[in-house]
Amino acid sequence: MLLLHGHPRTAATWHRVAPLLVDAGYTVICPDLRGYGASSKPPTTHDHAPYSKRAMAADMSRLLGRLGHEDAAVVGHDRGSYVAFRMAMDTPHLVSRLAVLDSVPIGEALARCNARFAAEWWHWFFFAQPEVPERVILADPDAWYRGSIDQMGPEAYAEFHRAIHDPATVGAMVEDYRAGLGVDRAHDDADQAAGRRLTCPTLVLWSSRDDMEKLYGDPLTVWRTWANDLSGGVIDSGHHMAEEAPGQLAEALRGFLGPLVDA
């Protein structure tokens, strides 16, 4: 099972969920995404393609091969869900099942952008601006990101704290968003125009105290345009469900992924 974190977290965000899944018999891989945490931060280009979800998904595909796995169930939260989705679209033979947490595809989100989306998700458009986001964030990273030791746990918080104070990491994290508004949307739109769909069973989970339902109503209605074998539901949590409701999340994943392994 490959677990992919969101912004501005690192792989440590899964530290309460991963042991529960290991105890259930799964092999669990928790990497830092390209640009995040301790992962590499390659130079960008004018189109931000080095930080596209396609590039990040290719990283994960190579990682699976390097570790000797022919395929995996892929779980992504927040920005990590876009990488998981892109991996399932580009290399379906590597993704046996897909779970996306607190998201709809980038192209779908932008196609539905209205005043509410712009007011609540304004950071998407701020992060896409040149140079300014990095300067603003690095002026006071703790005030900007407001991480909680109690919520995250001391070790995960320490890793997060190092990341948000590293100029290279902050620059790479906003590159993720710059790619999102351009090349990532183009990839989603091209798939949709070509009628390409997910070929694996897909689980969609969203947090009850986040804004997914306010923005999209039932998120499953959005995902039905992409997936035939679709299920989902709500986790009683704020946005960072792996930290706030690890037991519920692990139970939901076990229920979805159970037939994959002999525990």
Residues designated as active site: 78, 239
Q: Tell me, what amino acid is at 162?
A: R
Rg (CA), the chain: 17
Q: Tell me, what amino acid is at 82?
A: Y
Pairing of strands 95-101, 202-207: parallel
Residue 204's closest CA among 180, 250, 235, 177?
Answer: 235
Reading the block at residue 113, the tokens are 């952008």
8 Å CB contact between 166 and 25:
no
> What is the C-alpha separation between 133 and 182, in angstroms, rounded?
17
User: What's the DSSP call for residue 131?
Assistant: S
> What is the C-alpha separation between 206 and 78, in angstroms, rounded?
10
CB-side neighbour CA atoms (13 Å) of 158: 3
